[in-house]
Amino acid sequence: MLAFALEHAARYGLQRVVIVIPYLTITEQTARIYRDILVPVFGEEFVLEHHSLAGVGREDFREDNEGDAGQPSHAERRRRLLAENWDAPLIVTTSVQMLESLFSNRPAACRKLHRLQRAVILFDEAQTLPAHLAVPTLAALSHLSAAYHASVVFATATQPAFAHLNEAVTNAEAPGWQPHEIVPDPGSLFTPMKRVVVTWGSPDTPVAWDDLAARLADSFQTLCIVNLKRHAKTLWEKLDDPVTLHLSTNLCAAHRQAVLATVRVRLAASEPVRLIATQCVEAGVDVDFPVVMRAWGPLDAIIQAAGRCNREGRRKEPGRLEVFLPEDEAYPPGGYEQATQVATMLFRDVGEAGMSLDDPGFITAYYSKLYNLAGVTNTRESKEILKAVKNGSFPDVAQLYRLIKQDAINVLVPYTPRLALFDDLRTKADRSGLTGEWIRAARPLTVSLYRPKDSDTIWDALLPVPVAGWRQREQNDWFIYAVPDHYHPQLGLVPSGTLNIWIA
**What would the DSSP string read from start to end of 147-204?**
HH--EEEEE-SS---GGGGHHHHHHTTS-------SSSSTHHHHTTT--EEEEE--TT
When comparing pLDDT for 44 and 374, which is higher?
44
Question: 401-410, pLDDT tens digit by residue?
Answer: 998 776 789 9
**Does residue 236 lie within any of the structural domains?**
yes
Supply the pLDDT for residue 69: 44
Supply the pLDDT for residue 503: 36
Domain boundary among 288, 321, 356: 356
**Region of poorest pLDDT, from 175-179, 274-278, 298-302:** 175-179
Cα 20 from Cα 90, distance rounded (Å): 11
**Does residue 398 lie within any of the structural domains?**
no
**Does residue 416 lie within any of the structural domains?**
yes
Whether 232 has a pLDDT exceeding 60, the answer reads yes
Nearest Cα residue to 140 out of 104, 108, 106, 107: 104
Supply the pLDDT for residue 477: 87
CATH of the domain at 290: 3.40.50.300
Per the structure, the complete domain to which residue 350 belongs is given by 194-356
Q: Are residues 96 and 167 in the same domain?
A: yes
Mean pLDDT for the chain?
87
Identify the band that residue 294 occupies on the pLDDT scale cut at 50, 70 and 90: very high
Cα 244 from Cα 72, distance rounded (Å): 45
Supply the pLDDT for residue 61: 35
- The count of structural domains within the chain is 3
**Region of poorest pLDDT, from 225-234, 257-266, 443-452:** 443-452
Q: Are residues 314 and 246 in the same domain?
A: yes
**Does residue 414 lie within any of the structural domains?**
yes
**Does residue 259 lie within any of the structural domains?**
yes
**Region of poorest pLDDT, from 96-105, 179-188, 195-204:** 179-188
Cα 50 from Cα 81, distance rounded (Å): 11
- Whole-angstrom distance between the N-terminal and C-terminal Cα of the chain? 54
Domain boundary among 356, 373, 394: 356
Supply the pLDDT for residue 249: 92
Supply the pLDDT for residue 58: 33
Residues 320/196, Cβ–Cβ less than 8 Å? yes
Question: 398-431, pLDDT tens digit by residue?
Answer: 999 998 776 789 999 999 999 999 999 999 998 8
**Does residue 155 lie within any of the structural domains?**
yes
Q: How many CB atoms lie within 10 A of CB 102?
A: 18
Supply the pLDDT for residue 479: 95
Domain boundary among 292, 326, 356: 356
Cα 28 from Cα 21, distance rounded (Å): 10
Cα 313 from Cα 168, distance rounded (Å): 41
When comparing pLDDT for 76 and 455, which is higher?
455
Question: 345-368, pLDDT tens digit by residue?
Answer: 999 999 999 999 888 888 988 998
Cα 369 from Cα 14, distance rounded (Å): 37
For 382-390, what is the mean pLDDT?
93
Supply the pLDDT for residue 146: 94
Q: Are residues 120 and 98 in the same domain?
A: yes
Helix (H, G, I), strand (E, B) or coil at 308: coil
Whether 139 has a pLDDT exceeding 50, the answer reads yes
CATH of the domain at 63: 3.40.50
Q: Are residues 334 and 434 in the same domain?
A: no
Cα 98 from Cα 21, distance rounded (Å): 9
Question: 474-504, pLDDT tens digit by residue?
Answer: 668 899 999 999 999 999 999 876 544 433 3
Nearest Cα residue to 476 out of 502, 452, 493: 452
Supply the pLDDT for residue 494: 93
**Does residue 371 lie within any of the structural domains?**
no
Identify the band that residue 76 occupies on the pLDDT scale cut at 50, 70 and 90: low
For 432-454, what is the mean pLDDT?
88
